Amino acid sequence: MRVLVTGAAGFLGSHLVDRFLALGYDVLGMDNHVTGNPNNLAHLSAHGRFRFANQDVTRYIEVEGPVDGVLHFASPASPVDYLELPIQTLKVGALGTHKALGLAMAKHARFLLASTSEVYGDPLVHPQPESYWGNVNPVGPRGVYDEAKRFAEALTMAYQRYHRLDTRIARIFNTYGPRMRPRDGRVVSNFIVQSLRGEPLTVYGDGSQTRSFCYVDDLIDGIVRLFERGSADPTNLGNPHEFTVRQLAERVLELTGSKSKIVERPLPVDDPQVRQPDIRRARETLGWEPSVTLEEGLGRTIEYFRQVVTQEAAATS
């Protein structure tokens, strides 16, 4: 079995590549490094079953030989990234998904879309089941990401219904872990790096907004199960353990032993007030649920960022 992973040099893509290789698949990774990091795949440079193609997936994708699965993970994912790259974000969600679906059709391959909890916008239903249609502002700054992913879901369903393509849609909720970029702007990487550097932790708004964070290993386990034995119905994948952003800041301070202060900064426009996945479908159809606690996951992530911060400090001294 051979799979193509787009966005392979990114945080989730690189972990997915590792998991498929460990399961015995041949893997072709594709990325243009717009928000990814080649170091995330450096350990695979001599791997016999891994190949990498530096390519923008909004352009025609040509792959020689058989492909049994296409997992479309290419897209800026941090709000800071997609607000800086609004057009690229819309293009990779729309044109990139179209090209990836086209390749899947040509190769008679299974297709999996990395969608997001952002399709629910600032939700009026809590927790969010897959049946909820969402509350998205199409013309707000986050609309570039939310609407691109909503379009990508609609296109995936059209290929499934019209072309009978074998498809999956993973609605991924906030996921964290090693290989996030230290300055990608997402809350877990920000708080850990700020704590380790002794800088203030920047809580946006009063920090009463909630999120539910999933450790990367659990998420990747859910993706592989969905790919191998799921159905075309959109499936939430995330950890239902919900807490406020301020609680997260306090937990990170405790676990790093940092003396940093917490400071408040303006809340970004349209920042969802609450977010928690209803994972009943994943539990029932995939037998999946997350098992890594926040403490364990943060511990492993802090260990990773400690090395990154130490290396950066050594490089600048």
| Residues assigned a catalytic role | 145
Q: How far is the CB of 185 from ligand UDP (least distance, A)?
A: 6
**Taking the complex as a whole, how short is the minimal distance between the CB of residue 317 and ligand NAD, in angstroms?**
28
Instruction: Select from ligand NAD, ligand UDP, none the partner in contact with residue 202, using the beta carbon and a kind-dependent cut-off of 5 to 8 Å.
Output: ligand UDP
CB 84 within 8 A of CB 140: no
> How would you class 75 by CB atoms within 10 Å of its CB: exposed for 0-12, middle for 13-18, buried for 19 or more?
buried
Taking CB under 6 A as the criterion, the residue among 8, 101, 187, 282 binding ligand UDP is 187
Q: Which two tokens stand for residue 139?
A: 């013309």
Residue 171 in the binding site for ligand UDP (CB under 6 A): no
- How far is residue 192's CA from residue 313's CA, in Å, rounded to a whole number? 15
Nearer to ligand NAD, 90 or 249 (CB): 90
Site mask for ligand NAD (CB under 6 A), range 157-196, x = bound: ---------------x-xx---------------------
- 70 binds ligand NAD, rule: CB under 6 A: no
CA-CA distance, 162 to 156, in Å (whole number)? 10
92 interacts with, out of ligand UDP, ligand NAD, none, CB within 5 to 8 A per kind: ligand NAD
The Cα 248–Cα 266 span in angstroms is 18
Contacting ligand NAD within 81-120 (CB under 6 A): 81, 92, 96, 114, 116
Q: Which does 281 bind (CB under 5 to 8 A by kind): ligand UDP, ligand NAD, none?
A: none
141 contributes a contact to ligand UDP by CB under 6 A: no
CA distances from 193 to 29, 89, 216, 260 (A): 28, 26, 18, 11
d(CA 279, CA 239): 8
Q: Does 57 bind ligand NAD (CB under 6 A)?
A: yes
Dist. CA 298–CA 255, nearest whole Å: 8
Note whether 17 binds ligand NAD by CB under 6 A.
no
The item of ligand NAD, ligand UDP, none sharing an interface with residue 29, based on CB under 5 to 8 Å by kind, is none
First to last CA, the chain: 47
Count Cβ neighbours within 10 Å for each residue of 294-311 and write b for 16 or more, e otherwise: beebbebbbebbeebbee
Could you tell me if residue 257 is left (phi over 0), alpha (psi between -120 and 50 degrees) or otherwise beta?
A: left
CA dihedral 104, 110, 116, 119 (to 10 degrees): 70
What is the total count of residues that contact ligand NAD (CB under 6 A)? 29
Q: Is 210 helix (H, G, I), strand (E, B) or coil?
A: strand
Which element (helix H / strand E) includes 286? helix 280-286
Q: Of 191-210, which residues contact ligand UDP (CB under 6 A)? A: 202-204, 209
Q: Least distance to ligand NAD from the beta carbon of 83, Å?
A: 13
By the criterion CB under 6 A, which residues form the site for ligand UDP?
78-79, 174, 185-187, 190, 202-204, 209, 211, 245, 268, 271
By the criterion CB under 6 A, which residues form the site for ligand NAD?
6-7, 9-13, 31-36, 56-58, 73-77, 81, 92, 96, 114, 116, 172, 174-175
